[in-house]
Amino acid sequence: MKKVIELTAEKSKSIRKKKEFAGKSLAYILLSLIGISMILPFLWMISTSLKEAQAVFEQVKPWWRNWIPAKIVLSNYVRAWHAVPFGRFYLNSVIVGLCVTFGVVFTSSLAAYAFARLNFPGRDKLFFAYIATMMIPGSVVLIPQFAIIRIAGWVDTYRALIVPATFTAFGTFLLRQFFMTLPKDLEDAAKIDGCGFFGTYLKIILPLSKPALATLTTFTFIGNWNSFMWPLLVTNRTELRTLPIGLEYFQSQYTTDWSLLMAGSVMALIPVIIVFIFNQRFFVEGVKLQGIKG
Amino acid sequence: MKAKRKETIAAYLFLMPNLLGFMIFTSLPVVFSLVLSFFNWDILSPPKFVGLGNFVRLLGFTFNGKNFIPNDPHFWYYAFNTVFLMLVIPLEVFGALIVATAMNQKIKGITFYRTIFYLPTVCSGVAIAIMWKGLLNPDFGLLNGILIKLGNLLHLDLHGPAWFTSPVWARIAMMMIGLWLIIGGNNMLLFLAALQGIPRDLYEAAEIDGAGGLQKFWKITWPMISPTTFFIAIMSIIGGFQGGFMLAYILTGGGPGGATTTFEYYIFNNLYTFQKAGYAAAIAWVLFLLIFIFTRFSWKHGGKLVQYH
């Protein structure tokens, strides 16, 4: 009797293993297919950027010659770099991105500490107001912001690109969610040692929150790097264009020069991809953080 | 008592930088834009009070003796476009779920796949839009090229459309790019986290009862992840109402014939191109109300579909 049970157990185990194998194979096939469709457009873009302007339109044999051109030209990159002031666009994007990111992380972490750890009248109502504004469509706020910037005479200044983007409810919300998960014991110990509120924030909370701060930094920087409508509204002069706006201007100037356009786009993507590959775990963390219920 | 007051003062000092900016650049603008929607204003000359004029023009109809004609037919066409483009949302949500399910099979190289799938989300910007402009070019684009090759293989006369010159194909192109951008992005990560949070023993118990793969999915996985699915669906729809500006601006300029102009694009045009800040504010507030009503309705009624545990 015992033997029979063992036999069926073994049988079901082998069936389960077979099923698991089938499931895994299916998963690999599916993920690889989707993965190829994700990566192929990027490869095509790079390949097109290395072709001579005329070769873009030609179909050659064997088929892989369409992907690895017989004559690889790097001059498209040089041409694109000189066609519009790409260096300036990069510089603008970096300046704006760094300032906004620093501002967001600094002001959000201060406010998040108050919301997560201090007791004061009206705290919950105020926090609710913060969350509520996250539900309001961006365009409702954007119109008066644009009017304010124009009336203040800030059009075509770095201030216009940096200041309004620096105070986000999202950053405060994200960090507050993380601070809530930190154990309180350390802070109590710090209090006994005579640490004030600011000391606690600086010496206990911030060092413990490195992953969350890195997440917010990465999110903010990339979000700002890709930001399109706002810089489009508040800049007119070439010298103040950020990379996306510069790239848009570039593509409206060279609509048919495809190898040039692709070279310009590749140049714009390189910094983002580098930042992403080195910080990719923070994206996963950030998405999980948003899921934590307050 | 004294300590309490000290804490309050400290709290407001901590809040001050953020709160001040939040008031000037978020709270006040919300009020300001509501007031603005009752004015005609080109930002340069003094605003002119028009009462409900903007809303009447936007949403009103005029009876010409035979038919009701909308005062602003553009608005209704763009509303149709926006909803049309939102038809891809179910595909985006289920696509993300399928990818997350495949990722959850304890496979090797999960980091590699996740990196590749997340790439479009990180890059989503003008460069990606330009890339797709090339990919969908009817003369040399990758997609139409693949279609022709596929046609040769199957002995069919397959050839891709001229994507951006036909209203329907232009919209389909937008939806396709949207799906490509989002399928491995944040929604997939949220689904993956939800799937990983389901206790293993639930599945083991079901297996002992002889449940098959599909049964396990519908009886365990689907109800267990329903809060995540609900959240993602609502956020996608809210996002859909406000989306479609950047891609359309680069790829079609809102055309052909306004076929890819959405609410967001119309607001931008009124604000920037036509210099009608008041009218833009009115559209933005109509959009806000639409989203608000939708969200209220779905929290109230959609909540029943969700099983909390």
Backbone φ, ψ for residue A85 (5° rounding)? -70, 75
pLDDT at position B34: 92
Q: Is A146 on the interface with B (CB under 8 A)?
A: yes
In sequence order, the 6+-apart residues with CB closer than 8 A to the CB of B4 are: A119
Give the pLDDT score at B89. 95
Which residues in chain B touch residue A57, judged by CB atoms under 8 angstroms apart? 139-140
Average of pLDDT values for A29-34? Answer: 92
Count of residues making up chain B: 309
Window 252-281 of A, Cβ < 8 Å to B: 258, 261-262, 264-266, 268-269, 272-273, 276-277, 280
Question: Which tens digits make up the pLDDT trace of A125-181?
Answer: 999 888 888 888 888 999 999 988 988 889 889 999 999 999 888 889 888 888 888
End-to-end CA, chain A: 55
**What is the full per-residue pLDDT of chain B (309 aa) written as tens digits?**
677 888 888 889 998 999 999 988 888 999 999 999 999 898 888 888 988 888 988 888 888 888 888 888 899 999 999 999 999 999 999 999 999 988 888 788 888 888 889 889 888 789 999 999 889 988 888 888 888 888 888 887 777 788 888 999 999 999 999 999 999 888 898 898 888 888 888 888 888 888 777 888 888 888 888 888 888 888 899 899 998 899 999 999 887 989 999 999 999 999 999 989 999 999 999 999 999 998 888 888 776 666 655
CB contact under 8 A, B134 and A19: no
pLDDT per position as a tens digit, A169-209: 888 988 888 888 888 888 888 888 888 888 888 888 888 88
pLDDT tens figures, A44-55: 999 888 888 777
The Cα diameter of chain B in Å comes to 86
Residue-level pLDDT at A294: 34
Per-residue burial over B284-308, b if 16 or more Cβ lie within 10 Å, else e, is bbbbbebbeeebeebeeeeeeeeee
Structure-token match 């402009």, residue found: B133
pLDDT at A6: 63
pLDDT tens profile A243-294? 999 989 888 888 878 888 899 899 888 888 888 888 777 777 777 666 544 3
Identify the pLDDT of residue A292: 47
Query: Do residues A197 and A140 make contact, with C-beta atoms less than 8 angstroms apart?
Result: no
CA distance B1 to chain A (A): 12
A251, two tokens: 């593509």
Q: Is A10 exposed, middle or buried (0-12, 13-18, 19+ CB in 10 A)?
A: exposed
Residues in chain A with CB shorter than 8 Å from the CB of B32 are 144, 147
Closest approach of chain A CAs to the CA of B61, in angstroms?
24
